[in-house]
Chains A and B, each alone.
Chain A
Amino acid sequence: MSKELIRLVDCVMEFDGEVVLDSINLYINDAEFLTLLGPSGCGKTTTLRIIGGFQQPTSGDVLFNGARINDVPPHKRQVNTVFQKYALFTHLNIYENIAFGLRISKVPEDEIRRRVGEALELVNLSGYERRSVNSLSGGQQQRIAIARAIVNRPKVLLLDEPLGALDLKLRKAMQIELKKIQQEVGITFVYVTHDQEEALTMSDTIVVMNGGRIQQIGTPTDIYNEPKNAFVANFIGESNIIDGIMVQDKVVTFAGHTFPCLDSGFGTNAPVDVVVRPEDLHLTDPEKGHIRGVVESVVFKGIHYEMMIQSPTFTWKVQSTMFRAVGQEVGMTLTPDDIHIMHKS
C-alpha cells in the first residue's frame, strides 16, 4: 500500500474577497505522479503554491506526513519546485545553478560534485557544467531546472506547467523523459498543466479542477472513461453531450432512440446528460444505424477524419478512419459501454 504524504484539508484561498480555491480536499501518496489539471484560472497553480509554501491558504490545513505545515516557509519545506519559466540563476553557470541548494545546506564539496554530476546525467546533459544559462535552448534549460530541484532529493517535486514553453515534439519527448525520471528517483511529482493529453500520458492520478473546485480525482483511465460530470467529459478529450431521459436503470433514451446502457441509480424518467466520445460512434449504412444523420463537414486529422454529422436533434462530432463525403447520409451505432450517463449539471 502506498503511504500518504501530503494532505490538503478544506483549503480555501481568497484574493481580495474573491474565492480562488473553494474547500480543496486532496491527499497525495508517496512516489505518486499526481497531476492538477484544469483550464487557466481554475486554481491549480495556487494549489501548487500552497504546497510549495509560497502562499498560505486563507483557511484550511496543509499536512505533510501528518504534521501541519501551514506556517513553514518555503526554504524549510522538503519540497522543491520546477517553475513555469524555469527561473534559473542567470548569474551562475549550470554547475552552480544545480549546486545552489546543496551549497546552502552546506554539503561537502566532493559530494556536491558527485551529486551535480549524477543530476546532469539523469537529465542527459552531462558535460554542460561550465555552460552559461543563456547558451541553452528552452528544452535544455527546462531539464536544468529539473536537475536543480531533484539534486536536493526532495520528498516532493512540484512542477508548474514545466513544458508550456516548448514546442510540441519536444514536449512529447519531455513527457516521456519526465515520467522516466520520476520512476527512476521514486519521489512524488505534483504536476500542474492545462494540457489534458499531457496529464493522461504521465499521471498516476489526475485531479481535474475548475472554478476553484475539484471536479474529479481518479486514474487517467477512470477520468477518461467515466467522467463524473459534463465539465470533465468536455475537458478531457472531446465529447458529445446531449440531453437524455433515464427511463429506468440501464435504459436511456436520447436522440429519438432508446439504448441499453451500464449506468443505474438515476431513478425513473430522470433527465440526464449523456456523454458520447467522438471515437465511440461507429459509422455504418443509414438503415443499419441507431441514429441517422447527414455529414456536414469533414476534416482530415492524420489518424482519422473528424466529421460533424447532423441528426434531427443534435450535431454529432465523430472521429472515424472511414471517410464519408459531405452531404452523404450515414448511420451511427453505439454499444452500451460507449454511453456515459451523468447528472444534469
Chain B
Amino acid sequence: MKNKFLGIPYIIWMAIFVVVPMFLIVGYAFTTREGGFSTGNFSNMLSYAGVFGDSFLLAIIATLVCLLIGYPISYWMTREGPGVKRIALVVLMLPMWMNFLLRTYAWMSLLENTGILNELFSAIGLFKLINAVTGSNIDHFPMINTKGAVVLGMVYNYLPFMILPIYNVIDKIDARVIEAAQDLGANSANVFRRVIFPLSLPGVISGITMVFIPSVSTFAISKLLGGGKTLLLGDLIEMQFYGNSYNPYLGSAVSLVMMVIVLVCMAIMNRFGDGEETAVML
C-alpha cells in the first residue's frame, strides 16, 4: 500500500509536537527545581484544591447551561427549512470569526460597573425603582469580576460547540425512523422522548466534551471577566510559566492532574454514549 507513506509526515509531526511535549510534561511534573525525582509537586498541589474545585464547578455549570440553551436551539434548527437552517448556522458561527479576546473584551465593556448594561438599567430608572422599593442605595449591578461573569463568558464563547454536534446528529436522523415511531403509535412527545433524544445522545456527549474541556482549562475568560478574583486551573498553570512564581515543575504537575481528571470524566461520559456511534470525541 503506497498510500500508507502519505501518513508519515503527520506521524512525525504528531511525535514532535504532541508525544514529546507530553513526555516533557510528565518529566517536569516529577522533577524538583534542583533536578531530582520527586512527587513533591503533587503534594504541594493540595493547597490548590480550591482552584480545582472552582474550575470544575464553573466548567460544569457552564456546560450544563450550554446544554440547556443549546439543545432546544439545535432541535429547533433541525425542524426548520433549509433557508432558515443556513441563516441560523451563519448567525451561530459569525461571532467565531472574530478574535476570541476581542469578544471577551466586548463583554467587559458590557458588564462593567459603569458599562453599557448598567448605564442602560440606570437610564430606564431600574435602580431608582429598586432603591424606592427596597430602601437600598445601589447605582449598578455588580456583574463584572464575578463567577457569574466567568460562566457567562464560557457559555457565550463555547455555546456553538454544543449546538453544532447536537444539530448535526439530530439533522441526520432518518425521517423514516421518526415515521416508524409515529406509525407505532407515538405522539410527538413520545417520538422525542423515545427516539429523537436517545438517538441524539452521541451529539450531546461530543457537545459536552467540546464545551467542558476548554471551559475547565480557560484562563483568559476568568482573567478578563472574573478580574482574577477566582483563580482557575488555567490561571494557575499560566502563573507557573509566566508569573513571578516561575515554577514549570508545579505547572506541569497541575496540567497532568487536570488532564487525567478530564480523561476520566470523558471515559465515564463515553459509557453513556454506548461506544459504537459516539461521534467526534476530543
Contact = CB atoms under 8 A, between A and B. Distances in A.
Interface of A: 52, 54, 73-76, 79-81, 83-85, 87-92, 100-101, 103-105, 134, 148-149, 152
Interface stretch (B122-130, B187-195, B217-225, B232-240): B187-195
Nearest to A74: B182
B276 interface: yes
Contacts of A148: 180, 184
B87 interface: no
B134 to A, nearest CB: 51
Contact of A74 (B179, B201, B274): B179
Q: Which of B174, B179, B184, B276 has the most CB of A within 10 A?
A: B184
B176 interface: yes
B177 to A, nearest CB: 5
A73 B182 contact: yes
Contacts of B182: 54, 73-75
B276 A54 contact: no
Residue among A73, A75, A81, A105 with the highest chain B CB neighbour number at 10 A: A75
B60 interface: no
Interface in B138-179: 174, 176-177, 179
Given A83-B176, A83-B179, A87-B179, A75 B276 contact: no
A152 B176 contact: no
Contact of B181 (A76, A100, A105, A134): A100
A104 B184 contact: yes
A152 to B, nearest CB: 7
B201 to A, nearest CB: 8
A104 B186 contact: yes
A281 B6 CA distance: 64
Contacts of A52: 183
A101 B174 contact: no
B277 interface: yes
B198 A83 contact: no
A104 B190 contact: yes
Given A100-B194, A134-B276, A87 B180 contact: yes
Interface of B: 174, 176-177, 179-187, 190, 194-195, 198-199, 201, 274, 276-277
Main SS of the interface on chain B? helix
Contact of B176 (A75, A87, A134): A87
A201 B116 CA distance: 77
A111 to B, nearest CB: 16
A100 B179 CA distance: 13
B179 to A, nearest CB: 6
Contacts of B194: 100, 103-104
Contacts, number: 68
Contact of A101 (B185, B195, B274): B185
B179 A89 contact: no
Contacts of B179: 54, 74, 81, 83, 87
Contacts of B187: 75
B277 A90 contact: yes
Contact of B183 (A80, A88, A91, A105): A80
Contacts of B190: 75, 104
Contacts of A87: 174, 176-177, 179-180
A105 B198 contact: no
A73 to B, nearest CB: 7
A236 to B, nearest CB: 29
Nearest to A84: B176
A91 B180 contact: no
A52 B181 CA distance: 12
A54 B176 CA distance: 10
A76 B186 CA distance: 9
A155 B9 CA distance: 63
Given A89-B195, A104-B190, A75 B177 contact: no
Nearest to B274: A91
A85 B276 contact: no
Given A91-B198, A91-B199, A75 B277 contact: no
A35 to B, nearest CB: 20
Nearest to A49: B179
Given A91-B199, A100-B194, A75 B180 contact: no
A286 to B, nearest CB: 58
Contact of B180 (A73, A76, A81, A105): A81
Contact of B185 (A75, A84, A91, A92): A75
Contact of B199 (A54, A74, A90): A90
A71 B204 CA distance: 35
A108 to B, nearest CB: 16
A288 to B, nearest CB: 58
Closest 7 CB pairs of A and B: A101-B184, A87-B176, A87-B180, A74-B182, A91-B198, A104-B185, A81-B183
A172 to B, nearest CB: 25
A197 B277 CA distance: 39
Given A89-B195, A90-B199, A152 B177 contact: no
